[in-house]
């Protein structure tokens, strides 16, 4: 592995709004973790914390320096990641995601966003809604129900009746996409077979 440049993760500029997204921050932390592992720097060592310092900009760097002073000899990669998360992620972010889930709709600004876009949005929401134990708050069944409850009217009469309990969320999305495509081309099928 000699000569390979490993450090590809971007610098954290706390002034940029993208860092307020917990999933974006988690992805960055995982990239830092991989990078440190590849450099054989163990996370419990001070070198891991020193490495992070060079990836921080603006007030995230100020938060880092404050953490070092406050924790004095007890600072660690893990403790700083918790401080950084608390600093960057709004305390209401989970509440906002819950409200988003409750208001889930395939319509945005009065227009239908499309089956695939709505399904992807539900998947993303499921990934982002994590409880304090790190488990997903939105089960597969809840995601499946949200999807079914918001199908366009023309699908409710033809697609919903033949749905089987064994169909997964992905099966439902594929079938709904085929109905959406058939409608666009003016040929909605009356018969529907199970996957």
State pLDDT tens for residues 143-195.
Answer: 888 888 888 877 777 776 677 777 888 988 898 888 888 887 776 544 444 44
Distance separating alpha carbons of residues 94 and 97, to the nearest angstrom: 5
If asked whether residues 113 and 175 sit together in one domain, one would say: yes
- For residue 22, the model assigns a pLDDT of 75
Instruction: Among 28, 61, 88, identify where a domain stops.
Output: 88
Relative to beta strand 12-13, strand 56-57 is: parallel
- For residue 132, the model assigns a pLDDT of 65
DSSP 57: E
SS3 string, 106-166, reads CEECCEECCHHHHHHHHHHHHHHCECCCCCECCCHHHHHHHHHHCCCHHHHHHCCCCCCCC
Instruction: Among 88, 119, 139, identify where a domain stops.
Output: 88
- For residue 48, the model assigns a pLDDT of 86
The residue count of the chain comes to 195
pTM over 0.85: no
User: How many independent structural domains does the chain possess?
Assistant: 2
Distance separating alpha carbons of residues 146 and 115, to the nearest angstrom: 12
Distance separating alpha carbons of residues 37 and 128, to the nearest angstrom: 26
Domain residues for 126?
Answer: 93-184
- For residue 190, the model assigns a pLDDT of 43
Instruction: Among 88, 106, 129, identify where a domain stops.
Output: 88
**Spans of the chain, pLDDT less than 70:** 1-9, 91-105, 107-110, 131-134, 160-161, 187-195
């Amino acid at each position: 592995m000699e000569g390979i440049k490993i450090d590809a993760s971007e610098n954290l500029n706390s002034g940029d709004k993208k860092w307020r997204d917990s999933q974006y921050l988690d992805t960055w932390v995982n990239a830092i973790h991989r990078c440190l592992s590849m450099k054989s720097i163990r996370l419990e060592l001070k070198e891991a914390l020193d490495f992070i310092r060079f990836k921080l900009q603006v007030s995230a760097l100020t938060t880092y320096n404050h953490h070092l002073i406050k924790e004095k000899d007890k600072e660690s990669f893990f403790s700083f990641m918790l401080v950084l998360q608390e600093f960057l992620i709004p305390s209401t972010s989970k509440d906002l995601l819950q409200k988003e889930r409750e208001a889930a709709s395939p319509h945005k600004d009065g227009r239908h966003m499309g089956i695939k876009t709505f399904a992807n949005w539900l998947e993303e929401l499921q990934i982002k809604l994590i409880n304090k134990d790190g488990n997903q708050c939105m089960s597969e069944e809840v995601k499946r129900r949200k999807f079914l409850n918001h199908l366009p009217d023309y699908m409710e009469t033809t697609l919903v009746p033949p749905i089987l309990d064994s169909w997964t969320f992905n099966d439902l999305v594929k079938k709904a996409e085929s109905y959406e495509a058939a409608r666009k081309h003016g040929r909605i099928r009356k018969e529907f077979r199970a996957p």
